[in-house]
């Protein structure tokens, strides 16, 4: 198994892409510590499913944008699991709106949850990885962080920031054996995209040469590659997962 004996910390993994990554990793023998903002039935179901795969797993209820909570939870995971080998910064939200109508609150909320949370947990786990002289950090960006998108200036800015954060982290910490990369999903079939009007969803599909949405499992497989030793010389990169949409 590709991740046997390793421990991953995944933010926002109660559902969607984060959950798919957690299950993918667990199937490869990885112990899973994950965060989510609410203690819900879905979070507990994810935790139970992970445990059923024979790995150690635990959910931690916390707001990923809370810096002090990130420091505390990372230390707790290090103590309880003994190591943090992989960090996946997945937590994120959208608050879409045209730039001229976008409120300060819409801007601040998205930058705080999407970008600040990635800084929080990267900053929190790096001391443990530096001492171990190894680690893989993967952050979920987006194709809109590369190309931009109407009515998503806040989201695009947050995801572009994540790409820059990972590239900078890779340059700073490469000498310590730590790799940092980003993945940039395009149109992925999730609860969030399912909530879009059918006309909007169809317009996305028309722009994708593969003529379909991606799946959360397809994103998880790329993240698995970056987490594993198969990508031991890959660092400071951003990998689109978009069906050639970009």
Catalytic residues, by residue number, are 155
Residue 87's nearest CA partner among 193, 189, 162 is 162
Residue 14's nearest CA partner among 179, 164, 197, 41 is 41
Residues shown for the chain: 246
Using DSSP, state whether 166 is helix, strand or coil: helix
The DSSP code for 38 is: S
Name the strand (E) or helix (H) holding 155: helix 153-173
Given a contact cutoff of 8 angstroms between Cβ atoms, the answer to whether 143 and 214 are in contact is no
> Could you give the CA distance from residue 49 to residue 60 in angstroms, rounded to a whole number?
15
Given a contact cutoff of 8 angstroms between Cβ atoms, the answer to whether 125 and 84 are in contact is yes
Residue 12's nearest CA partner among 71, 88, 100 is 88
- 127 - beta bridge partners? none
């Amino acid at each position: 198994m590709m991740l046997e004996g390793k421990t991953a910390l995944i933010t926002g993994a109660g559902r969607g892409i984060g959950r798919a990554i957690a299950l993918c990793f667990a199937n490869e023998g990885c112990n899973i510590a994950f965060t989510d903002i609410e203690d819900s039935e879905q979070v507990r179901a994810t935790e139970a499913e992970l445990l059923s795969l024979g790995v150690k797993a635990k959910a931690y209820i916390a707001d990923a944008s809370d810096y002090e909570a990130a420091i505390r939870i990372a230390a707790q995971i290090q103590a309880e699991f003994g190591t943090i080998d992989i960090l996946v910064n997945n937590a994120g939200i959208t608050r879409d709106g045209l730039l001229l109508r976008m409120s300060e609150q819409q801007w601040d909320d998205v930058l705080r949850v999407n970008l600040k949370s990635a800084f929080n947990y990267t900053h929190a786990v790096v001391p443990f990885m530096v001492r171990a002289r190894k680690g893989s950090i993967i952050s979920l960006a987006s194709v809109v962080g590369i190309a931009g998108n109407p009515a998503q200036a806040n989201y695009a800015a947050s995801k572009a920031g994540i790409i820059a954060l990972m590239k900078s982290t890779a340059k700073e910490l490469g000498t310590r054996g730590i790799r940092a990369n980003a993945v940039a999903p395009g149109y992925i079939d999730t609860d969030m995209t399912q909530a879009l009007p059918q006309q909007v969803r169809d317009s996305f599909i028309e722009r994708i040469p593969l003529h379909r949405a991606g799946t959360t499992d397809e994103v998880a497989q790329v993240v698995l590659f970056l987490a594993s030793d198969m990508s031991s010389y890959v660092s400071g990169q951003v990998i689109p997962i978009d069906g050639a949409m970009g």
